Structure 1
């Protein structure tokens, strides 16, 4: 099991559009829901025909890309059979078969152009301005989860994702709106926190075959201060080293680190050396590659640096 290393903007958009339609009186999201209901542009409204308040949506709508334009390209290139199957699944849950939805299923060009405009409009209205806060909340959450996983193990990391989760032998049981059995077949799990979701666990297949387990972050976005605070971690260790430490929640080679930081391998090696000497990461050579990852102290610093 691994923890996702970055938030997915289109997945967060889907979660936000689901929460917008909830009528369960959630005290955390209620004021946010009222504000968004007033400000959401009309161009974005078609998205509501596709996303259920149960958190479900067509799989093609939330590709696990951290780049919106790349994700939009993946949405628009959805093959007709996949689009039809996913839209049929959503209509079987609780979405209406509207003329526009039929147009999407038939790969009508105008219908898909409406979808493109709706995704861009809703992203600009809901996600774009909040993106620094989403990133900050995501990194704080994943650092904390990684710490639990490292210290307490798999069972504790999974049962702490949401209330009423329990192990029955080798089976993890969690509340869900309908009966659903999932088997991993040895592919593993990626934990993906959602800043715009506050209910049951959600699942989706990852392109590499693993199961994406989407869970509500402990601190959802409406509880994060609207003005993004100064990056205290960057003030402490420097912005490049802070970014490197966040990346090293997952193992990276020096080459990987250099690419992610947009610096030379020599500069990445120097940053890793400083973090290692501070006890924040460990490094291990494997052939020609040097691998780096956070120590418990580094994870603690990440978890508390965003508090």
Structure 2
């Protein structure tokens, strides 16, 4: 429940939400106007990208608005990145960052450090990249080294 600060709360939810003159503006492909009347507005935090938003204004007993959780990047899931380039759109921002970071071979721990992510996150995404033939992993004693393949290099050249 927010009293006296609704404008501050709603204006700082997301880049896709704007509140002015007692009107909530939501980015939508097909804009339309909805009166809340006596319906409550249910706020739903989303653990997804920083630009995410979801809303439903058509239910008769309530309206709800999903917004990105502030500070999501501090949860250890790596940096929250919006996909603004072709490689990120194709692979996802974390895998694109890994592929770009492998301009020279690195350890799995080094990749995790570069991404500011946990080792299991780096391992999972590197496994997916290896399955696609974009990187190879080799064990060297207790360390796993990873490097781009010629196919990974070609994809970087094509989409970056």
TM-score normalised by the shorter chain: which range applies?
0.3 to 0.5
Structure 2 length-normalised TM: 0.47
Q: Looking at secondary structure, tell me which structure has more strand per residue.
A: 2
Q: Looking at secondary structure, tell me which structure has more helix per residue.
A: 1
